Amino acid sequence: DTEVTQTPKHLVMGMTNKKSLKCEQHMGHRAMYWYKQKAKKPPELMFVYSYEKLSINESVPSRFSPECPNSSLLNLHLHALQPEDSALYLCASSQGQVMNTEAFFGQGTRLTVV
């Protein structure tokens, strides 16, 4: 199984809502990532978890809150988002440090904030 599964595939939320994005992998990878991708742009790293601990936060606003409940799951909790937060949110995982191993990406969650 070389899949990273993200749910939901699409999400529309209001600026006062609270929602969560979920990511799951069963490859035994110990590093998991959240990326944000705006249209016609490359993915931008948001967070990195290594061995279930947050190791990198790329100065992401606090309205985005990551959580890694166990080694297979990664969540991204969303609260009080802005329309400019609308984007494709990609989850990825890797066996080791992504700089020298392959990162596997999920299909993404298309988020629209209204």
Partner 1 sequence: AQSVTQPDIHITVSEGASLELRCNYSYGATPYLFWYVQSPGQGLQLLLKYFSGDTLVQGIKGFEAEFKRSQSSFNLRKPSVHWSDAAEYFCAVGAREYGNKLVFGAGTILRVKS
Q: Which residues bind partner 1 (CB under 8 A)?
A: 4, 6, 31, 33, 40-43, 45, 48, 50, 55-56, 88, 90, 92, 97-100, 102-108, 110
> Can you point out the beta strands (E) in the chain?
4-7, 10-13, 18-25, 31-37, 44-50, 53-57, 64-70, 73-79, 87-94, 103-105, 109-113
Taking the complex as a whole, the smallest distance from the CB of residue 37 to partner 1 amounts, in Å, to: 9
* Nearest to partner 1 of 15, 56 (CB atom): 56
The answer to whether the Cα torsion of 32, 74, 110, 60 is positive or negative is negative
* Nearest to partner 1 of 73, 80 (CB atom): 73
Length of the chain equals 114
In a 10 Å sphere around its CB, with 0-12 CB exposed, 13-18 middle and 19+ buried, how is residue 29 labelled?
Answer: buried
Taking the complex as a whole, the smallest distance from the CB of residue 72 to partner 1 amounts, in Å, to: 18
* Nearest to partner 1 of 18, 28 (CB atom): 28
* Nearest to partner 1 of 6, 81 (CB atom): 6
